[in-house]
Structure formats: C-alpha cells, structure tokens
Amino acid sequence: MLGLLVCLGSEKIVESKREIPDIKTGYIVQLKVEVPENKRHVSVLKGIVIARHNAGLNTTFRIGRLIAGVGVESLFPLYSPNIRR
C-alpha cells in the first residue's frame, strides 16, 4: 500500500509542470506568494531557508526573516500552487 502512495505522489510531482528549484538550507530566497483570501494580491517574501523536510509530494521548507525587528518563521509546501516564483 505504501508503494502505491509513493508511486502516485511521484506521478503528481511529474504532472505539475512548474519548474521547482533545488532549495537547500542556508539559501536566501525571494518568493512571490498568492494570498488565498484575495486571489489578486501577491506578497513578496524574502528570507533565509532554515529547514527543509523531504516527504515527496508533501515536502516543505521553512523561511526565517525579520519583520519590524522580530524574527518570524514561515512554513511553505514546496509544491504549493500559491507560490508563483
């Protein structure tokens, strides 16, 4: 059963025709994220990748950044359709 789920997850990754960059811990990234509540608003986030959790289709990465002098961490799914770039 687990092999079937891995196979289906791999197919979904291939089907997503978006180019996914190789994001590693320590990289400084800039993301354009579409806000789900307002489809027209796109937020630009810049920060350093502080963690990555590899889990196939459910792979996530965590970005650390400063907002008004306060450290903030944000968690994003790597294959999220809300990430534009």
Residue 79 CA neighbour count, 13 Å, CB half: 16
Distance of CA 17 to the CA centre of its chain: 15
Phi, psi angle pair for 26, to nearest 5° = 100, -15
Tens-digit pLDDT profile for the chain (85 aa)? 556 555 555 555 555 556 777 889 999 999 898 887 877 788 899 999 999 998 878 889 999 999 999 999 999 998 887 787 6
57: containing domain = 2-77
Q: Is residue 84 part of a domain?
A: no
Q: Is residue 29 part of a domain?
A: yes
The model carries a pTM of 0.72
If one counts the domains in the chain, the total is: 1
